[in-house]
């Protein structure tokens, strides 16, 4: 047993020096304190890196097909009433969603930004089943009222009981309502009077769109939209106004769900152009993004970059329709973010490197100072130091 102990003792790579040969100095003590502080700071920094996940970024080709794109928006128009504001969406595949109302909410706001009324945008008046006769504005005894669509009916059973029904029927035909007072339903409901009563009001419009994952656009504009000779047109004559104040603030615009670190460049952007009536255009490049956290949960989302342009509106030119237009295109490259935790062995290796490195450098510095002091002291004793 003693032989084994002696052999192990001979393997000691750290031979001990008798304390009689130690020489403790003030400079050595100061260096020891400084190196201890440095080691502690580096250890804390390494510990923080170990406790927090590291995000790794990769670029890959986007090979996904047949997916949809979710667009979340929240836009405020301080000088455009909710009753005349509509939302349309279309893409290069030819699919169109005109006067979108599903999952869309509107808030009427006053000039000070206070909410007057909040409601979900309606889907339209219910269709009357099997109407008996058409009598325009007259309602006969024991008969179901069925308002005229003024030539815009697609079949003999169609009814337009409200001003909105008539405008919708006109939109499907590609017609414009030039004077609402000539329509019995609009006159009875006081369509133009409502527009005048809401003068000076604003509108906060928010919700989301589900669109095909192809290039396209969506826009906020006054009036109902329709197709005329394969051209997208908005009916502005019904409001009998020369111009529309399209000043706006984008509270939020996101393509997809939120993920840690996402930055949406249009959040909080506000435009108050002079003159305010015009076409505000945002050209957006959408980059598909996949975020995977340390637990393996995956979030399919998007990032985007944007450029802006403004054109003065000219009501006589269809190309310069007043409104806010968002033109988006998709990048073929997908960005993937992956959270990864540092392994314990890597953390231990770095800690050992910190302790050993600081200890070695401190030893070299201490030796340099100690021998330098001895050399100077020796020259001073023999009178050669000047």
Identify the pLDDT of residue 111.
82
State the chain's mean pLDDT as an integer: 82
Do 63 and 213 meet the contact criterion of CB atoms below 8 Å apart? Answer: no
Q: For the segment 330-359, what is each residue's pLDDT rounded down to a tens digit?
A: 999 999 998 887 788 888 999 999 999 998
Looking at the chain, the whole-number percentage of residues with pLDDT higher than 90 is: 30
Residue recorded with tokens 């030539």: 151
What is the tens place of the pLDDT at every residue in 271-297? 876 767 788 999 999 999 999 987 888
99-114: pLDDT as tens digits: 888 889 999 898 888 8
Q: Which two tokens stand for residue 289?
A: 């993004």
Is the pLDDT score of 143 beyond 60?
no
- Whether residue 8 contacts residue 328, with contact meaning beta carbons closer than 8 Å, is answered with no
Contact 219, 326 (CB under 8 A): yes
- Domains of the chain by residue range: 2-52+344-381, 60-125+204-339
The pLDDT score that the predictor gives to residue 121 is: 59
Answer whether 266's CB lies under 8 Å from 311's CB.
Answer: no
**Confidence (pLDDT) at 215:** 94
User: What global pTM score does this model have?
Assistant: 0.69
- The length of the chain is 386
Backbone angles phi, psi at 285, to 5 degrees: -110, 110
Residue 321 has a pLDDT of 80
Is the Cβ–Cβ distance between 277 and 244 less than 8 Å? yes
Higher pLDDT, 335 or 319: 335
Where does residue 34 fall: left (phi above 0), alpha (psi -120 to 50 degrees), or beta otherwise?
A: alpha
Res. 135: pLDDT tops 80: no
Per-residue confidence (pLDDT) for residue 122, from 0 to 100: 45
pLDDT of residue 178: 75
């Amino acid at each position: 047993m003693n032989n084994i102990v002696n052999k192990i003792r001979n393997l000691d790579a750290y031979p001990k020096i008798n304390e009689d040969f130690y020489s403790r100095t003030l400079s050595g003590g100061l260096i020891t304190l400084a190196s201890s502080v440095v080691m502690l700071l580096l250890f804390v920094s390494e510990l923080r890196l170990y406790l927090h996940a590291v995000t790794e970024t990769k670029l890959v080709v986007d090979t996904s097909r047949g997916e949809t794109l979710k667009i979340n928006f929240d836009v405020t128009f301080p000088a455009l009433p909710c009753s005349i504001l509509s939302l349309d969406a279309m893409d290069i595949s030819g699919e169109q969603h005109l006067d979108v109302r599903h999952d869309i909410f509107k808030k009427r706001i006053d000039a000070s930004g206070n909410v007057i009324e909040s409601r979900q945008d309606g889907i339209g008046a219910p269709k009357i089943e099997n109407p008996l006769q058409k009598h325009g504005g007259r309602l006969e005894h024991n008969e179901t009222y069925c308002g005229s669509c003024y030539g815009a009916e697609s079949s003999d059973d169609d009814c337009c009981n409200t001003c909105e029904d008539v405008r919708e029927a006109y939109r499907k035909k590609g017609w414009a309502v030039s004077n609402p007072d000539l329509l019995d339903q609009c006159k009875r409901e006081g369509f133009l009077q409502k527009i005048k009563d809401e003068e000076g009001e604003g509108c906060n419009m928010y919700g989301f769109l589900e669109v095909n994952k192809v290039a396209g656009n969506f826009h906020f504009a006054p009036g109902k939209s329709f197709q005329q000779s394969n051209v997208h047109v908005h009916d502005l004559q019904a409001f009998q106004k020369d111009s529309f104040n399209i000043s706006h603030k984008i509270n939020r615009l996101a393509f997809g769900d939120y993920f840690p670190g996402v930055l949406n460049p249009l959040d909080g952007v506000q435009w108050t152009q002079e003159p305010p009536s015009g076409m505000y255009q945002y050209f957006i490049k959408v980059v598909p993004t996949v975020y995977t956290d340390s637990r393996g949960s995956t979030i399919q989302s998007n990032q985007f970059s944007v450029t802006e342009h403004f054109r003065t509106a000219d009501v006589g030119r269809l190309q310069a329709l007043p409104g806010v237009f968002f033109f988006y295109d998709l990048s073929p490259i997908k960005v993937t973010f992956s959270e990864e935790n540092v392994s314990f062995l890597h953390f231990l290796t770095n800690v050992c490197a910190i302790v050993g490195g600081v200890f070695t450098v401190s030893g070299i510095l201490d030796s340099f100072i100690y021998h330098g002091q001895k050399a100077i002291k020796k020259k001073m004793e023999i009178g050669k130091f000047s």
